[in-house]
Amino acid sequence: MPDDRLQHASEALRRASAAATDAEIQRRLYDLSDRLAALAAADEEPDDEDLMQHLHALGDLREATSGDVSEQVNDALESVRERREELDG
């Protein structure tokens, strides 16, 4: 069953990637979107350590972006954070 929070995060990063003007940022956003989509579609639960790594990457990307792109990254970050807290709970 797909993980809705991780799928939402992936979609937010796709939108951010499409809106980004810097090619390197665009690539990083797209790559992270792919990784989150794979986690969302996986049969097993995501690993807490994997989610923490994604949170760090999202935090770095949020700092490296601005405007609508940063808002989309923050939206993705919040979704991944909620999913991680669910694992901890």
Opening angle at CA 71, ends 14 and 89, nearest 5: 85
For the question of whether the overall pTM of this predicted structure is more than 0.85, the answer is yes
Compute the distance between CA of residue 48 and CA of residue 28 in angstroms, rounded to an integer: 21
Q: What is the pLDDT of residue 87?
A: 84
Amino acid 88: pLDDT = 73
The residues, ordered by sequence, that sit 6+ positions from 86 with a Cβ below 8 Å of its Cβ are: 5
Tens-digit pLDDT profile for residues 29-67? 999 999 999 999 999 999 899 999 999 999 999 999 999
User: Counting runs of H as helices and runs of E as strands, what totals does the chain give?
Assistant: 4, 0
Closest to 25 (Cα-Cα) out of 56, 53, 64? 64
pLDDT value of position 89: 63
Q: Closest Cα partner for 54 from 1, 89, 18, 3?
A: 3
The pLDDT value recorded for residue 79 is 98
The pLDDT, as a whole number, for residue 38 is 96
